[in-house]
Amino acid sequence: MPFSIEQVRAMLISVNLPVDQTGLNALVEGLINFQSDQAVLGRYEHLLKVPKYESLDVFESKAHAKQFNATLQSSNLLPYGDKAIRYDDKSISDLLAYNIITSEDVIGENEIRFDPMPKMLHLVTSKFGATNHSNSIYVDENRALEFVEYFKDFSLLNWAKIQEDPNFPLSYDVLMAGKDLWDWDKISASGKIRFDEFTIDLLSEFLNFSILCKNPHAQWNNSLIEKYQDKINFKSLSSSPYLPFHHDWRYFYESKLDLPSLVKNPRVYWDLELFERYIKPTFSDNYLVKKDDIFFQLISYGRLSTSVISECEKLLDQKITIDRYVRRNSDGYRDYSTEHKLWEFFTTNPNIFWDDELFLRYYKKIEIRAIRGKIRLSVRSLSELKDYIVPYNTGDIEDYDGNVDVYPAQPLFEVIKNKCSIYGLNYDNFLKNEISWWGTFNSNEFLNPSINAILKRYFGIRDEHLLTVAR
């Protein structure tokens, strides 16, 4: 015998689902499960756009389930997040009359706001599956644990998509509640989790340490490395921004570190002690640098101290043969070899910090336009260099017609103004040096962040008129 609306409401109450919170989907489930009165289903047909079926067996067939699932999506009856759904006046009147919603749910003309209760989702997906919806599920941060505990045995949900959703919180409690659901390799690589020592210890049974070592968010320390050294990938660890300082390496894992990865790690500051311990032993008598040498990698990528640079100054005068691909015409590339001083690779090292001492010592030896590291000079240094002209230069790479980039001779500040921070700059010496450094006042020329600060503070120039320096 078909169930009445009141009987369906009683069933909903028995499973602790408040009928005034999105009872619509629950009502659909009740009508389907219990072969409800076709007249009652007809009352909601204009709402649901659900075709009438003669029997539950027919309705449960895969084809009809798929059709009904598509109908639910097209009629917006699977609300996620804080979403308003529009209905006609008759629909809202029916929902109010049967206590499926309350007047508080009606937030505007013909608009109802539904709360995406996990139980509502269960009532729908338990019949039709939710694999296709898993990447659209919004779960409030405060209800993530409840969501996982409720659905962890629910195989139709696509948990791989859920864990990758940037809005889905992955706390320790959530991870443990669904420990058999997650792809732990992807968890180990995740940037959503703060992998400090406490968290790594708690999750150590499940984490993939080879992958975790590559995760820049994993905060390694000596205690962690000592505890898990049998699981750690030391080549990946050698590149970690959280690698402990080198004074601690020698105690228990120095021999396991990967030297090529270390020289490229900006975390590692190559002072003279470190250089003499790791790099100098690779030198032979009358050492000639080759492009595969660890020293070549060090000067190209290493974060070097001034003392190490001084130690290597003579070596940087050496030339090295490098194969270059140069575009000649529309037929492709021509490969040829050229000799380049090591100073060129030192200049393009992104981890070199060009302070007053380093810049003033070597600015005539390098191609200033090629500097990729940070430059920070004092007002005094810039004043000393205000008359220096950076020489004419041509690039190496040819275009289709065989042309190369040409850089005309320019005043130093014109070359470095977009990438040089100035310290010691204040209002007085700004006015004193403005004419000699930058010419006629024009805010579009002041691209330097230090100068922007002066312009904003003393001249009232707004942010939208200051050009941001690309770092």
Query: Where do the domains of the chain lie?
Result: 1-129
Distances (CA, A) of 56 to 15, 36, 133: 22, 10, 24
User: CA–CA separation, 239 vs 228, rounded Å?
Assistant: 17
Q: What's the pLDDT tens digit per position in 358-388? A: 999 999 999 999 999 999 998 889 888 888 8
Q: Worst-scoring range by mean pLDDT, 151-165, 242-256, 392-406?
A: 392-406
DSSP state of 16: T
Would you state the pLDDT for residue 187? 93
DSSP state of 238: T
Quickly list DSSP for 349-391: -TT--B-HHHHHHHTTTS-GGG--S-EEEEHHHHHHTTT-EEP
Which of 114, 155, 127, 96 is CA-nearest to residue 29? 127
Percent of the chain whose predicted confidence (pLDDT) is above 70: 54
> Is 28 strand, coil or helix?
helix
Q: For residues 70-99, b (16+ Cβ closer than 10 Å) or e, as one string? A: eebeeeebbbeeeeebebeeebbebbeebe
* CA atoms within a 13 Å half-sphere pointing along the CA-CB vector of 440: 0
**Helices (DSSP H) in 196-305: which residue ranges?**
197-203, 209-212, 222-227, 234-237, 259-264, 272-278, 294-301
Q: Worst-scoring range by mean pLDDT, 250-259, 303-312, 434-443?
A: 434-443
**Higher local confidence (pLDDT), 271 or 431:** 271
User: CA–CA separation, 279 vs 298, rounded Å?
Assistant: 9
Which of 446, 415, 412, 411 is CA-nearest to residue 430? 446
DSSP state of 218: B
Query: Within a 10 A sphere around the Cβ of 52, how many other Cβ atoms?
Result: 9
Token pair recorded at residue 406: 């040409």
Partners of 376 in the beta sheet?
Answer: 421
Averaging pLDDT over each range in 112-126, 139-153, 366-380, 452-466, which range is the top one?
Answer: 366-380
Inter-residue contact 342 to 317 (CB < 8 Å): yes
**Higher local confidence (pLDDT), 50 or 176:** 176
> Is 272 strand, coil or helix?
helix
Which of 413, 408, 407, 405 is CA-nearest to residue 445? 413
**Higher local confidence (pLDDT), 386 or 82:** 386
Q: What's the pLDDT tens digit per position in 120-130? A: 444 434 433 44
Kindly report the pTM of this predicted structure: 0.61
Q: Give kind and range of the element (H or E) at residue 270.
A: strand 269-270
Spatial CB neighbours of 176, under 8 Å, sequence gap ≥ 6: none
Mean pLDDT over the full length of the chain? 70
> Is 137 strand, coil or helix?
coil
Query: Dihedral (C-alpha) 250, 254, 260, 261: value to the nearest 10 degrees?
Result: -100
Inter-residue contact 275 to 311 (CB < 8 Å): yes
Instruction: Calculate the CA 447 to chain-centre distance.
Output: 27
Quickly list DSSP for 35-70: T--HHHHHHTHHHH-PPP-S-HHHHTSHHHHHHHHH
pLDDT band at 324 (very low <50, low <70, confident <90, very high): low
Strands 375-378 and 420-423: parallel
Q: What's the pLDDT tens digit per position in 236-282? A: 988 888 888 766 665 567 778 899 999 999 989 999 988 998 899 88
Which of 224, 209, 173, 164 is CA-nearest to residue 191? 164
DSSP state of 412: H
Which of 282, 279, 296, 222 is CA-nearest to residue 252? 222
First to last CA, the chain: 73
Would you state the pLDDT for residue 300? 94
**Higher local confidence (pLDDT), 148 or 156:** 148
Token pair recorded at residue 4: 């009445």
Sign of CA dihedral 30, 34, 38, 40: negative
Percent of the chain whose predicted confidence (pLDDT) is above 90: 22
pLDDT at 448 over 60: yes
Token pair recorded at residue 103: 């007047």
